[in-house]
């Protein structure tokens, strides 16, 4: 791998992390039971035309959803 490619990968990783964290910030004020918290995985898979495997996308978003429970607002 060239240093340039590595640099671009690191930039993308930082952007992905920033976006995941921003999603968490937005959810912090949403009730734990709100069904809208869940990622719209099916919708994303329907639109997905890229290289990343569909199964992988589903797993990534399921993991995000699972970990999102830890900072859900405790209300009904």
Partner 1 sequence: MILRLALGTAEESVQALRERLESAGLRVLRSPEEARPILAVAGKVPEKLAAELRTRAEVAEIVKPSGELLLVARAMRELPSVVDVGGVRIGGGEVVVIAGPCSVEGRELVLEVARKVKDCGAHLLRGGAFKPRTSPYAFQGFGVEGLRQLKDAGEAVGLPVVSEIMDASDLPAFLEHGIDCLQIGARNMQNFTLLKAVARANRPVLLKRGLAATAEEWLYAAEYLFEGGCEQVILCERGIRTFEKATRNTLDLTVLPLLREWSHVPVIVDPAHAAGIARIIPPLARASIAAGADGVAVEVHLNPEEARSDAAQALLPRELLGIVSDARILAAVTGRRLHP
* 34 in contact with partner 1 (CB under 8 A): no
46 CB-side CA count, 13 A: 4
- Min separation Cβ 55 and partner 1, Å: 25
Whole-angstrom distance, CA of residue 33 vs CA of residue 73: 9
**40 belongs to the binding site for partner 1 (CB under 8 A):** no
45 touching partner 1, by CB under 8 A? no
Contact 10, 35 (CB under 8 A): no
Taking the least distance from each CB to partner 1, the nearer of 25 and 47 is 25
Nearer to partner 1, 7 or 53 (CB): 7
């Amino acid at each position: 791998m060239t240093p340039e490619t590595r640099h671009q990968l690191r930039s993308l990783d930082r952007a992905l992390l920033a976006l995941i964290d921003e999603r968490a910030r937005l959810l912090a004020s949403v009730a734990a039971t709100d069904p809208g918290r869940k990622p719209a995985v099916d919708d994303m898979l329907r639109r997905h035309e890229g290289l990343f495997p569909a199964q992988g996308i589903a797993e990534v978003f399921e993991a995000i959803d699972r970990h999102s429970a830890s900072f859900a607002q405790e209300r009904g």
